[in-house]
Every structure is written in C-alpha cells, then in structure tokens.
Amino acid sequence: MSASIVGEPAIGRLVYTRDEVLESGAYEAPLFAAGVRCHGGFEADGRYRSPRTIHRAPAVQAWQAQLLREGNALLEIPRALMPPQYPSVEQSTLLLENGVRDPIVRTLTIISIVEGFGALIRDVKVPELSALVVEPIEGTALAHLAGGLFEAHARDESGWKDEGGHKQMWEAARDLALDKPKIPGDVLMRLMGRNAGRRRSERPFPQIDETLERMLAMMAQVLVVEIFAEGTFDWGYRLLSNPRVSAAPEAAGAMIDHIRTDETPHVEYLRTALSEVRARTLRTVDGRTIAGRRVVDGLLHGILRDTTRNRRSDQRDDVRENLAAAMQVAKNPAALLEAFDALEVGWAAPGRTGFEPEGDVTAAS
C-alpha cells in the first residue's frame, strides 16, 4: 500500500538532532499546575501545545509517511482489548457523592506514580541497531530512539529540572478536584508488591541480541500501557470534570486534557519504531536472521494476552481490598455497597490479541 494517491506527496525531513527532538519552542504563556510550573504551554490563541513537539511531531509524521510509502503497515493495537477502568465512572461518582474518597484518591495517586515511572524510559539501553538490523535504518524513528525520543518521553512523564511533567499534573488534577485530599501512605508499597510477582524470567527470543530484545520488550510494554491509559484518562476526565463531585471541574478537566494531548506523541513514536522493526529483518546471535515481524508480534501478543487477562481483576481486587472499610464513612455503608455492586459491568478479555504467531489456531486457550 502506498501513501501516495495524488502523485508522491513530499515526506518531511527524516533526520533530526537530539536537541531538535527535545526542543519545545517558545510559548505565549506557561502551564501551571497547582502552583507548579509544568511543561508545555499555550499559544497566542489559547491553545495548549505539548512540550518537545515542534520537531518531534512532524518527525514522527514523516517517519510514518516513509513507512507507508515503502509499502509497510503501521501497527495498530485494537482498542477492544482495553479493559475498562474499575471502578467505573458511575461507580466512582456514587462513591464521591457519598463522601467515600479513599478508593478514588488511591486510584488517582497510582496514576501519578505510574506516570513518574516513565522516567525509566531514559535508562533503556539502545544497542548498535545498524549492526543488528539487516536493512538500513537511517531516517527512521528507530534511529532516533537514543537521539532524543526516549529522553523526551521520560521528561514528559516525570518532569524535567524545575518543570513538572505528568506526575505533577495528575497530582494537581487530583488535588484540585478533591480539594487536597490526604494521601494514604501505603499506595506505593502496594503497587510495588503487586508488580513484583509478575516478572517474566524466560526470554521469548533468546536467538536475538539480549539488549535488543529487552529494548523491544520494553517498548511493546510501554506502548500497551500508553494505549490502555486512554481508558483511564477518559475515566479521570469524566469524573473530575463533573461539577457534582469535583471542586474544580474546569481546571481539573483541562489538566487531564493537556496530559492526554501529550500522550499522542508517545503512542505514535513507539508504534512507528516497532512497525519499522516489523518491516525489517533482525540478525540472530548465531549468524542467521529472523523476521522483525515475528519478534515484535510475539512480544506484543504475550504482553496483550497477560494484560487483558490480568489488569481488570488486579484493579478490581486492589480496590475491593479496602472498599468495605472505606465505605464506613458513608451514612449507610451496606446500602452503598449494594448500589455500587448493582452498577458493576462485567468484562471478559477477547479471545485473540490479533498478534498471534502465524499458524497458531489455539491462541484463545
């Protein structure tokens, strides 16, 4: 498939310096979140512009156009795989209307902590890709991962120098909407405890360079997290912009909207770089080759299968562990729990991820 319907449209510049990838340009007005100077800012017409996008955004577009022009596909994670947020917007609204804030404060705090973990992306080791990929990679997203793309992503998530990032922006949205709630002290510990039991020890592709495999696995994992976060952000936006339960519906809603805008370049560069690998051939450690597609699809399949199976029940178990205790502040806790459960919507993971290894007809097992 070619991207050109009317002749060959010009593809933008494909090679950028690290400084360009990290450049935000000038803003008419900065963004403040609860008194903290954050990244990004506003144009003269009042529109929010994400940080580090004046070159990064057109660069990603150009790499995507190049990929399509070469007859390759841009991979797509089916949104139907996204488990719904627990508790739902309706359940969360009910809790807040009844003065039960703890589960919502916990959820919002977890979101901000997970955003802060994004700083780890700058520590992902990038191997000598031109030696491990058979086809040329010049002028691709892949060639810019170490040249600013990972660093820009890390800065967006966790902040940079004296500028807040998504971590601080979510904290601000939470504190604005819920009037600076008291944060339970065990949120981080419980989150770490849950994740610790889930490490995969076996390498799915031991035949390729280990640093390359780790990098691709990390990118696939982060891509899935970023895409599934769309549902979480939609939940946060709908809840915290509701004047019935939010003390600052406009300011909190706007903050979440800015974060959502900033996430687009993350999803786009990750799926572009993974699609570029998918369209290429990788060298194995024993001097042979393997289709990049087999590796990328294999990694995505494993991650999607695990996430679709576990995320919903993890979230539900986590919330329900404290739910009954948290409801004690309500006038009639038993009636509230009943009303809460009546709003429960079931969800089952789809049988297929869409990235099944070729020839695997038993993927739903």
Q: How far is the CB of 223 from Fe ion (least distance, A)?
A: 10
Closer CB to Fe ion, 153 or 305, in the complex: 153
Residue 46's Cβ-side half-sphere holds a number of Cα atoms within 13 Å equal to: 1
Residue type, 150: F
Q: How far is the CB of 149 from Fe ion (least distance, A)?
A: 12
DSSP single-letter state for residue 147: I
296 with 281: CB under 8 angstroms? Answer: no
Tokens of 164: 């807040």
Contact range with Fe ion by CB under 5 A, out of 98-106, 164-172, 194-202, 275-283:
164-172
Q: Which residues contact 193 (CB under 8 A, 6 or more apart)?
A: none
Helix axes 187-196, 292-326, angle to 10 degrees: 140
Q: How far is the CB of 33 from Fe ion (least distance, A)?
A: 13
Q: How far is the CB of 155 from Fe ion (least distance, A)?
A: 11
Tell me how far CA of residue 282 lies from CA of 98, 138, 293, in angstroms. Answer: 56, 15, 9
Closer CB to Fe ion, 232 or 242, in the complex: 232
Q: Which of residues 205-244 bind Fe ion (CB under 5 A)?
A: 226
Residue 133's Cβ-side half-sphere holds a number of Cα atoms within 13 Å equal to: 25
Its sign, for the CA torsion 274, 275, 280, 284, is positive
Closer CB to Fe ion, 213 or 263, in the complex: 263
Q: How many residues bind Fe ion (CB under 5 A)?
A: 6
Q: Which residues contact 81 (CB under 8 A, 6 or more apart)?
A: 304, 307, 308, 349, 350, 353, 354
Closer CB to Fe ion, 154 or 326, in the complex: 154
DSSP single-letter state for residue 42: E
Q: In what order do the strands lie in the sheet with 29-33?
A: 29-33, 36-42, 48-49
Out of 102, 151, 157, 175, the only residue in the binding site for Fe ion (CB under 5 A) is: 157
Closer CB to Fe ion, 51 or 298, in the complex: 51
Closer CB to Fe ion, 102 or 157, in the complex: 157
Q: How far is the CB of 95 from Fe ion (least distance, A)?
A: 25
Report if residue 318 touches Fe ion, rule: CB under 5 A: no
Out of 155, 166, 311, 312, the only residue in the binding site for Fe ion (CB under 5 A) is: 166
Q: Which of residues 105-134 bind Fe ion (CB under 5 A)?
A: 115
Residue span 256-285 as binding mask against Fe ion, x where in contact by CB under 5 A, dash where not = -------x--x-------------------
Closer CB to Fe ion, 121 or 178, in the complex: 121
Q: How far is the CB of 360 from Fe ion (least distance, A)?
A: 31
174 with 112: CB under 8 angstroms? Answer: yes
Site residues for Fe ion per CB under 5 A:
115, 157, 166, 226, 263, 266
